[in-house]
Each structure stands twice: as C-alpha cells, then as structure tokens.
Chains A and B, each alone.
Chain A
Amino acid sequence: MTRNVLILGATSAIARGVAMAFASLGDNLYLASRDLDELQRIASDLRVRYDISVHTGLFDANKPETHTAFFQQVVGTMGNLDGIALAFGLMGDQISAREFDVAEKIIMSNYTGAVSILGLSANYLEARKAGFIIGITSVAGDRGRQSNYVYGSAKGALSLYLQGLRNRLYPVNVRVLTIKPGFVDTAMTFGLPGMFLVASPATIGKKIVESLNKSADVIYLPFFWRYIMLIIKHIPEFIFKRLKL
C-alpha cells in the first residue's frame, strides 16, 4: 500500500536517505525545509529515480506561528497523511552557545519547533487512528557532555517528548519511533575532529524506514551505538565529570 509521508528538514543528508528509502517502496512524499530551491532538486531526483509523486514546501521550525497553516496545506495537497518523519536539527557551535541567543536557536531548532509541529501531527494521526511519527534525535541526548550539551539537552528533551507521545498514541494505533543516530557522514559532521565509525546517510535512511516493520521503539543506528551509549550512560558521574568528552 502506498503511503503519504511528510519529511521535515528534507534537505538533510539523512532525510534524503529516508526519502530514497520511502520512494523505493513507492511511497509519495512531501518534502519541507527552509530551502525551496534545494528541495525541488531533491524532489526531481526522487521522481526520476523512483517515478513517485513528490511535493515540496517551505517550513521553518523556528516559526511555530506558521505551523498550523503549513500542516493544513500539506494535508490538503496530499489528501491525507500516513506518516511524519522529522529530521531537522541544528548542532550549532558549543562555544558560541554560551550566549543565550545562540543556545535558544539551537533549542528551538531541535526541540521547541519539533514540539510545535509534532503536536499538530499527533493530533491529526490520533484522529485518524493510524499512522506513524519518526523522530530523529541523537545519541548526544543520552548524556550531557561539555562539547555539545546545549544540542544534547535539546535532543534529550526531544527523546523524552517522543517517549511521552508514544505512550499517548499507543491506544490509537499510531507508532512513534525514536531514532538515535551515532556519527553519520553529513554536512553536520564533515571535517569535525574525533569522528569514528561514521555511517553513510543512505544506509541510515534505509534502516530508519525499515524500523517501521520492526517492533523496537527506540532505535540506535548503527545498532552498536546502543552498547556504546550503555557504557557511557553507566560511567559514574564522579568519574564522568572529570572526562574530556
């Protein structure tokens, strides 16, 4: 059965991997972010490769006042929606994030904006009693580290929010998946020091879409990050606070 899927932050490399994976199954897509020109190129590519229907539209996570109209427009264009995949996010620079206005933008772009648009999505799917929400958070949200705790705290908050949403939507048959990627080879990580075991965004995208057919709710990608984070989470705080992470 063909699904209609909205992808938020669709210009991200991981999102493109997700879009490719949905498209290869014949699903129809609505791609949204702040860069319409780029979205249209990605959309053309998906049409050429997979012969599916793809729409594009402007979406800014940091303008929650526009989200209701945006969501209505997506539903209007697609007819109905079966799923929402949220990929937008902003790593930002931890040093400049010591200033509140920078930190606030990171929090908005990873968390507040997500709460706004996922709230609308949840209400919509709850009424339809079917569908799915995929939220891409990060392993960075599992434990606060000096190198990226503003980003990490926003991702951690998003993970908790998704957990609550899953609990709320379980009775109405709406799946909520929490995706926690480790290091993925994208614009966000290119050239950053300290990267290891970097995964390709195409592979991650495929795994994300495949997760819909599996039972797990919280998915680390690639899988071994579950164990890495298990160890990291269990380092006692009195040791952890001394580490340079």
Chain B
Amino acid sequence: MPTLTKSISGWGRYPAHTCELSRPERYADLKADQPSIIARGQGRSYGDASLNEHGHVLLTERINRMLELDIKQGIIKAEAGVTLAEILSVCVKHGWFLPVTPGTRFASLGGCVAADVHGKNHHHDGSFGKHVLGMEMLLADGRRIQCSASENSELFWATVGGMGLTGIIGTVTLKLIPIATSQIQVQHRAAGNLQALFELLNDPDLDDHYSVAWIDCMAKGHKLGRGVAMFGHHASVDEYRAALPLTHHVKSVRNLPFDFPGWLLNPLSINLFNQAYFWNEGRKTDAFLTSYESYFYPLDAIGQWNRMYGKRGFLQYQCVLPETQALSGMTRLLQAISASRNASFLAVLKRLGESSLGMLSFPMPGFTLALDLPLHDQQALFTLLDRLDQITLEHGGRVYLAKDAHLSAENFRLMYPRYADWLKIKQQFDPANVFNSSLARRLHIGEQP
C-alpha cells in the first residue's frame, strides 16, 4: 500500500510528530503489516494518542461504511472509521440517538471505543464501551476476531479504553437509544462558587438525563469555581409540538480560516468572554428547546476551532477526582490554575458515575474537570501541569489519556491501577508490541509493568 511520510498532530496541535501514513480504502487492507503501527480515526484526541513517531499510522477514515441499521431494535453495525456525525445522519430520522456522545460529532466510532468516551450522561449510562454489543478486531498476528462483553471478553475490555494498543478495531455494533424528537430540553442554573456548583450537579431534583457545568476559570477568591450548570434531556413530543420533530438539522461548518495570533487569547479577553458568558447563560433558568447539535456539539459549529490557539497549539487537561475528594481537589486545581498565568478559555465540569470494565478506561465515580491551556510558554505550562498531576494524584484521581500530552510513565501507573491486568492481555494478543504509539512510548505502556 502506498505511504506518505508527514508530520501530524492531534487536536491540540501539540506535539507534532513525523509518521509514515497509509490509508486503506478496502476493509481487507485494514491490517497490521508493519512492525510498529497505530490506528488513527479523526485525530480528535488532543495529544499524542494517534501519533507514532517514526512508526506507522493507519488512517481509518475511508473504512467508514455503515453495514446494518436495525430501525426496530435500534442497533447499528458500522466500520470503525465512520464518524458519529454520519451515524446521526442516518439514525436520528428513525428516532434513534447515540447512547453516549463526546463533545464533538466528528470523532470516529473506533476512536470512541478506543478512548471509551464519556458524555454528559455518564452518571446514568456509563461510557461508550458499555453500549457496544460486539466488534471485529484485526490482531497483530493477522487474525480477525469477534469480541464482546461475553465473547473474548478480556480482549474486549482491554480494547475498550485501550487507546488502540491491543489491535485495530474493524467494525463495531452499537446499541442506540430511542428519542421522540431531535430537540433537547435544557435548563441552566448559575452558581456563585464551586461548592454551589457541586450542589447544583448533585441535586436530584435538578438532575436530568444529561448534565454538565461550565466554569469561569478566571474567577478567584470567594468566586472561585463559579459557573453555570446545564441540564437537559431529549425533548418529548409534548415538549416539542412544532411541525417536524425528527428533522435532522446540519448547519454548515465554517472553518477558522487562519491561525489566530497567539496574543489574541490573553487573560483580559478571556476574562471578558467569561463574564459575558456567565451572565448570559446563567439567566436561562426557564427550560428551553435547542437542537441536539447546539446542545452536544457547540464547538463543531466552528470547523478547526483549534486554530484559535495559534500555531503553537494547546494542551487540554482533563482529570477525574473521586466523589469524596472532588470538592477539595478541584478547589486546589482551580487555585493552581488561576494563580498561574495560563488563562483557560473553556473549563467544563461533569459528574461521572460507575467505572467501566475497560481496564484503561478513564471514568470513575466522581467529578471530572477539563480545560484548555494554551501553549505560550512551554516551561511554565509544564510546571503547572506537573503541579496539577500532583494534586490529582493526591486526591486519588487520574488524567484522561485521550486528552493528554504530558503525563509521566510513573504517574500513569499510579493513576491506572489496572494497568498490570491490561498488560497481561496486551502481551497475550500482541507479544511483539506491534501496536505502539507516541503516547504509549511516553508512558511506557506495553513494555513494563
């Protein structure tokens, strides 16, 4: 198969690594015929998970056929390269929706399994892998093998959240959830500080199918952690009596035409934005309807919004802290961030529920915080990240590999206690460590316990 050697990066545009790419067009060509290889879907992970410096990267974007859609049972079987957007384009009109969705619909199905992504309903429905009925994998020794929670289940749970390091995910069968309309009924509540925000997210009377909170990272002192909690559910027909409840709206995506100059996002401009956002969104305490696109995928409306952070790119920090430690830990994280000069534009707080059976899956019961950190001054930023990792560890939490570009191999082991179990399965199915990535080498995943 023809190859192309090129420097590529993840969504954060940091780091950029030179990799040898190939792009199969046929399912039969989706195989591991290189000594060091990693699959890459849509490159929507932020750091180095889908890179393989000086190794091979297998692009799955053309292996994107939807093979079966059962509109009675709500089951779809598709090749791993298909995007969530494409799945939505066929299932919403039949009254079905993704059981779990990340904040972008441009992720691939394979990428969602490999990162075991979570959505705004994690506290009720768990992460992506739980809704996968089965998949076909292509292994290092050339075998094609079916796996699910009941068949080859160890391989299945090593692959769900396994960041592509156990094999290539070829096809995925996914259970969908029924919806009556394509609209989301939403309600916002503002909170003046972090504790109040936690209380909103924990309030059973306010809780809904989906919940998420936005945090103003610039607020300090007694306002630290102030934010807006957003609750939502798929609107019923009664809630949405308009003419065409199951239309599938796609707004055209406008690309950011150029890299913003690095200075554009500075503490002052971000502060102004956050102030305005807090007042505007915090006022929406009456329930309102919005399209599923604008509720789940607000950032998708601006194609390549990652260019907003300029050429040097940015890192995303996402960690989860267990329930009992969350408030004190998040307070310390936010203090560390607001004390540093690394202004964050977007910070999101979510409640997470039960852990997944995925051995390297990220979620655990508690709260997760995610924020973008522009890469202006690398040294200052890495010092901050070390500090954040330390706080996360001290509170029994972990960092999300799909977002990460900085964690150390040592801290990874402390954060992911089931790594040793995972490694046994990895060595069983990929003894020569063929499936390898820049992330895996940084964290020494696959090599040593």
A: residues with CB less than 8 A from B are 11, 13, 35, 37-38, 41-42, 44-45, 48-49, 186-187, 190-192
Is B67 engaged at the interface, CB distance under 8 Å to the other chain?
yes
Q: A49-B89, A187-B25 given as contacts; is B4 within 8 A of A41 (CB)?
A: no
- Contacts A190-B2, A191-B2 given; indicate if A44 touches B68 (C-beta within 8 A): yes
Name 15 interchain pairs, CB-CB below 8 A, sorted by A.
A11-B25, A41-B27, A41-B67, A45-B65, A45-B66, A45-B67, A48-B69, A49-B86, A49-B89, A49-B90, A190-B4, A191-B2, A191-B3, A191-B4, A192-B2
Give the residue name and chain of the B residue nearest to A13 (CB): B25
Closest to B5 in A: A191
Given contacts A41-B65, A44-B65, contact A35 B89 (CB under 8 A): no
- Check A35 against B26 for contact (C-beta < 8 Å): yes
The reply to whether B90 and A48 form a contact with Cβ atoms under 8 Å apart is yes
B residues apposed to A, CB below 8 Å: 2-4, 21-23, 25-28, 62, 65-69, 76, 79, 86, 89-90
Given A187-B2, A190-B4, A191-B4, answer yes or no on A49-B66 (Cβ-Cβ < 8 Å): yes
Q: Do B3 and A48 touch across chains, with their CB atoms under 8 A apart?
A: no
Q: In the assembled complex, which residues on chain A have CB atoms less than 8 Å from the CB atom of B86?
A: 49
Q: How far is the CB of B287 from chain A (nearest CB, A)?
A: 34
| B26/A11 in contact, CB under 8 A | yes
Contact of A186 with B25 in the complex, beta carbons under 8 Å: yes
Q: Hey, which chain B residues are within 8 Å of A190, CB to CB?
A: 2, 4, 22-23
Note all chain B residues with C-beta closer than 8 A to A38: 26-28
In the complex, which residue of chain B has the Cβ closest to the Cβ of A187? B25
- For B3, the chain A residues whose CB sits under 8 A away are 191
Instruction: Please measure, in the bound complex, the distance between the C-alpha atom of A29 and the C-alpha atom of B407, giving whole angstroms.
Output: 51
Complex: chain B residue closest to A11, CB-CB: B26
Contact present for A37 and B28 (CB under 8 Å): yes
Contact B68 A48 (CB under 8 A): yes
Q: Known: A191-B3, A191-B4. Contact between A48 and B25, CB under 8 A?
A: no
Task: Give the distance to chain A from B126, nearest Cβ to Cβ, in Å.
Answer: 26
Contacts of A35 in B (CB 8 A): 26, 28
Chain A residues, CB < 8 A from B76: 48
- Do A13 and B62 touch across chains, with their CB atoms under 8 A apart? yes
CA A41 to CA B63, docked complex, whole Å: 10
* 7 further interface pairs, Cβ-Cβ under 8 Å (given A45-B65, A190-B23): A48-B66, A187-B2, A187-B23, A190-B22, A191-B3, A191-B21, A191-B22
The 6 closest A-B pairs by CB, nearest first: A45-B65, A191-B4, A191-B2, A48-B66, A44-B67, A48-B69
Most buried by A among B2, B21, B65: B65
Determine if B79 and A41 form an interchain contact, defined as CB atoms under 8 angstroms apart. Answer: yes
B74 smallest CB distance to A (angstroms): 14
Q: Nearest Cβ in chain B — how far from A15, in angstroms?
A: 11
Interface centre among A35, A41, A186 (most CB of B within 10 A): A41
CB distance from A191 to the nearest CB of B (A): 4
A48→B77 CA distance, assembly (Å):
10
- Chain B neighbourhood of A13, CB < 8 A: 25, 62
B325 → chain A closest CB, angstroms: 45
Rounded to whole Å, the gap between the CB of B8 and the closest CB of chain A is 14
- A45 vs B66: C-alpha distance when bound (angstroms): 5
In the bound complex, what is the Cα–Cα distance between A186 and B26 (angstroms)?
12
Q: Which residues of B contact A41 (CB under 8 A)?
A: 27, 65, 67, 79
**B28 CB contacts on chain A under 8 angstroms:** 35, 37-38
Minimal Cβ-Cβ distance residue in A for B3 = A191
Q: Which chain B residue has the least Cβ–Cβ distance from A12?
A: B25
Q: How far is the CA of A222 from the CA of B4 in the complex (A)?
A: 24
Q: Is there contact, CB below 8 Å, between B2 and A44?
A: no
Residues of A within 8 Å of B27, CB to CB, are: 37-38, 41
Closest to A43 in B: B65
When distances are taken between beta carbons in the complex, the residues of chain A under 8 Å from B62 are 13
Chain B residue at minimum C-beta to C-beta distance from A189: B2
Specify which chain A residues have a CB less than 8 angstroms from the CB of B69 in the assembled complex: 48
- Most chain-B Cβ atoms within 10 A of its Cβ — which of A37, A48, A49? A48
Complex CA gap A45/B79 in Å reads: 10
Assembled-state Cα–Cα distance A42/B21 (Å): 24
B259 to chain A, nearest CB (A): 22
Complex Cα gap A158–B112 (Å): 45
Nearest CB of A to B13, in Å: 22
B65: contacting residue among A42, A187, A191, A192, CB under 8 A: A42
Give min CB distance, A33 to chain B, whole Å.
11
| Beta-carbon nearest neighbor of A185 in chain B | B23
Chain A nearest Cβ from B240, distance in angstroms = 25
* Docked complex Cα distance between A187 and B86 (Å): 22
Q: Give the complex CA separation of A179 and B109 in angstroms.
A: 34
Interfacial chain A residues near B21, Cβ < 8 Å: 191
- Compute how far the CA of A38 lies from the CA of B27 in the bound complex, rounded to whole angstroms: 7
How far, in Å, is B117 (CB) from chain A's closest CB?
A: 23
- The complex places the Cα of A191 from the Cα of B56 at a distance, in Å, of 14
Known: A37-B28, A49-B89, A49-B90. A44 touches B66 (CB 8 A): yes
Q: Which residue of A lies closest to B89 (CB)?
A: A49
* Docked CA distance A48–B90 (Å): 7
Q: Which residues of B contact A44 (CB under 8 A)?
A: 65-68
A16 → chain B closest CB, angstroms? 9
- Cβ-closest chain B residue relative to A192: B2
Q: Considering the complex, give the chain B residue whose CB is closest to the CB of A44.
A: B67
CB nearest neighbor in A for B76: A48
Contact present for B67 and A48 (CB under 8 Å): yes
Which B residue sits closest to A41, measured CB to CB? B65
Q: Could you tell me the distance between the alpha carbons of A190 and B76 in the complex, rounded to whole angstroms?
A: 30
In the complex, what residues of B have CB within 8 A of residue A45's CB?
65-67
Min Cβ gap A180→B in Å is: 22
Q: Shortest distance in angstroms between B76's beta carbon and chain A's nearest beta carbon?
A: 8
Residues on the B chain within 8 Å of A192, using CB: 2
Q: How far is the CA of A217 from the CA of B62 in the complex (A)?
A: 31
